[in-house]
Structure 1
Amino acid sequence: MFQRSVAWMARNMPTRESMESNRLLRPVAHRVMEPGLWRFNRRSVPRGVALGMVAGFLFPVAQIAIAALFALPFRANVPVAALTTFITNPFTTPFLWFVAYKIGAWMLHSDAAAIAQPAAEATGWLQWLTGAFDWLWRQGPAFGLGLIVLTAACAGLGYALSALGWRLWIARKWRHRHAIKPV
């Protein structure tokens, strides 16, 4: 399973050429293509993970381009930031949005139902649509607050886990190197 995940990441990792040809990044391509932003090291990889999660959670469109732009001032790894945005996809986004709403509703002490028919008595599509917008407007603060809290928590956790993973990987390499030491 782990090898398939690594193979998928290798296939889908954005290349320098694909980022350079991206029309959204063209104005800042010279900055995004800086070699230091494409090196994998113990500082840039966790930063890339955290920034990729922020871009993936908070921005529904152009996530990869936004993650690459976020990577510039923070000196984060651009490919890792871009790849981490895939944490949100059509399968995970509804669940994450539901969790974000529940967190926000809990923090704001809101007792409105998370999933409800916005306008049960609506007879026409226009009445249903206005009822749905009204329901969304009332639930917006809880969702917004929950999304910010969930983003911050997941970005912090992603940073910590990737930093720990990097440290364990380097420790394993050192142990392996010293174990094969020629006599």
Structure 2
Amino acid sequence: MATAAPRSMWQRAAGWCRRNLPTRESMERSRMLRPVAHRVLAPELWRFTRRSVPRGVALGMVAGVIFPVAQIAIAAVIALPFRANVPVAALTTFITNPFTTPLILIAAYQIGRWVLHVDAPVVAQPVAEAATGWLQWLWEAGPATVTGLVIIAAAGAVLGYGVSALGWRLWIARKWRNRHNKESM
């Protein structure tokens, strides 16, 4: 009995993407997207091109960080006017998940506090004043957190766009090099 060769990190990542990438059929069945389904399901929004993929990554980062619910649907709708790749935008929203969201929120609060020069209390009030203490803390921490989320979303979008555009160029260059090497043999 032969054992399977160990899969590389990229092969595992590609497999995860294939399993979790929304399909046109799943988007077609979505009740939230039904009013704009004819636009979201346009074939040009599902092609992987050097321009649409980085746009999809950037928009997915924004939707994933800023919107707490319905991220995939929001990313798909935002992708329409920008002619971004819908599956990539939807998949990139998974940057926020139960493991990364607390870290993103803490970083957003710290960044927002630093930008706004706000010193909201970080520790909750005593238990007797818990209800009003938490509401007051949330009221005071809200603007700093929202500001930080916007900054993180913008930085993530720019970084994601740049990295995916560079990755696309490197992938195409490798394909051309391999093609050239096969032809010269």
TM-score band by shorter chain is over 0.9
Is it true that 1:145 corresponds to 2:147 in the alignment?
yes
Deviation for aligned residue 1:110: 2.2
Deviation for aligned residue 1:129: 1.7
- Tell me the TM-score normalised to structure 2 length: 0.92
1:7-35 deviation per Cα after TM superposition (whole angstroms, max 9, x unaligned): 00011111000000000001111111100
Q: Is the 8 A contact 2:58 2:157 kept in 1?
A: yes
Match of 1:103 among 89, 105, 111: 111
- Residues in 2 aligned to 1:78 and 1:12: alpha-carbon distance in whole angstroms: 13
Give 5+ residue unaligned stretches, structure 1.
Answer: none
Q: Is the 8 A contact 2:61 2:92 kept in 1?
A: yes
Match of 2:165 among 151, 163, 167: 163
1:110-146 deviation per Cα after TM superposition (whole angstroms, max 9, x unaligned): 23454x12x21x42xxx41221011110111111111
Deviation for aligned residue 1:182: 5.2
Q: Is the 8 A contact 2:112 2:143 kept in 1?
A: yes
Q: How many percent of aligned residue pairs carry the same amino acid? A: 66
- Residues in 2 aligned to 1:110 and 1:131: alpha-carbon distance in whole angstroms: 17
Is it true that 1:3 corresponds to 2:11 in the alignment?
yes
Task: Report the more deviating stretch, 133-142 or 72-81.
Answer: 133-142
1:28 maps to what in 2?
A: 36
Q: What is the CA RMSD across the aligned residues, in angstroms?
A: 1.1
- Equivalent residue runs for 1:1-183 within 5 Å: 1-114=9-122, 116-117=123-124, 119-120=125-126, 122-123=127-128, 127-181=129-183
**Which one-letter code corresponds to 2:34 in the other structure?**
R
SS in 1 for 2:183: coil
Q: Is the 8 A contact 2:120 2:140 kept in 1?
A: no
- Residues in 2 aligned to 1:141 and 1:32: alpha-carbon distance in whole angstroms: 33
Q: Is the 8 A contact 2:120 2:137 kept in 1?
A: no
Deviation for aligned residue 1:170: 0.3
Give 5+ residue unaligned stretches, structure 2.
Answer: 1-8
- Residues in 2 aligned to 1:128 and 1:112: alpha-carbon distance in whole angstroms: 16
